[in-house]
Structure 1
């Protein structure tokens, strides 16, 4: 029993090395063909594809019931679906809004937008922590905080001097 947990024979190791190397080469080839966007984490769909590719590679490597051809087909399908979603997003604004979230303003000119925090499920304490982790001691040192499409936070400092170069928020959705 213990021996089987530690070593089940050379055939499994040889299969893992051979199929693993071929699956890796296949994945790299598919990624080179599909372009940089495939692994970009711009939205939830991009993240799902990245995680799914890793999970598929692990399954190909460790599951003897999954043949290399099936694994490569899964890679092609995932990358093809990601490509279709990306193309659809570029071609149609309506489709783009359906599949990805828009950035949301959480704080503007020192004012915390509580409705936006609630909608994005961010607490005020988390917002203040994000501001501190970006080098600002207090919220009044910040022009804006935005939660981006990928869930990352952008902290925009107030301009030095506060003169004519005031932060312009016209291009950010303020749905609070």
Structure 2
């Protein structure tokens, strides 16, 4: 590879990126519209993995000459299809849902920080206080309960 090719290797690779990127982007948007809002909801662990994996496939498809559009699209359809299937299984089978989704965890309740739960979830008192402030409160005295949701968000319930 010459020095010039480090900066510009021709119009064909750029054209491929534009065409593949546009088609793949439109395909992903269409797939997400078909599978519904659940795919775009707050992320639990599995949703996060699917999102990262789809992004990785998308990025590789844009830059790798050895990966065709149809192969990248098949990988994305597979990932989104698995996410859709698992969300259906979670909906229909409570035991399956419990197996793949974290349960909400009470971190603070009725004036007491739940240290054991905080340690297990690696949440500090400062993290809880930040969530309380984000809800417009200044102290824990104004709060009844703080729950770490399966999505990783903290729900703050006033007294």
TM class by shorter chain equals over 0.9
TM-score when normalising by structure 1:
0.84
Partner in structure 1 of residue 39 of structure 2:
38
TM-score when normalising by structure 2:
0.92
Deviations 1:76-97 (A, max 9, x none): 1001110111111111111100
Deviations 1:8-34 (A, max 9, x none): 011101111111111112212211221
For 1:39 and 1:53, the matched residues in 2 are separated by 13
For 1:40 and 1:115, the matched residues in 2 are separated by 29
Runs in 1 of length 4+ with deviation above 4 angstroms? none
Q: Does 1:49 align with 2:50?
A: yes
Give the structure with the larger helix fraction.
2
Q: CA deviation at 1:52?
A: 1.6
Partner in structure 2 of residue 10 of structure 1:
11
Show structure 2 runs of 5+ residues with no match: none
Partner in structure 2 of residue 64 of structure 1:
65
Partner in structure 2 of residue 129 of structure 1:
130
Partner in structure 1 of residue 75 of structure 2:
74
For 2:60 and 2:40, the matched residues in 1 are separated by 19
Deviations 1:119-169 (A, max 9, x none): 2111223222332333222111111111111001111122xxxxxxxxxxx
Partner in structure 2 of residue 110 of structure 1:
111
Distance 1:28 1:129, change over 3 A: closer
What CA RMSD, in Å, does the superposition of the two structures yield over aligned residues?
Answer: 1.4
Q: CA deviation at 1:42?
A: 3.8
For 1:123 and 1:71, the matched residues in 2 are separated by 41
Partner in structure 2 of residue 170 of structure 1:
none
Deviations 1:11-62 (A, max 9, x none): 1011111111111122122112211112223411111112222221111111
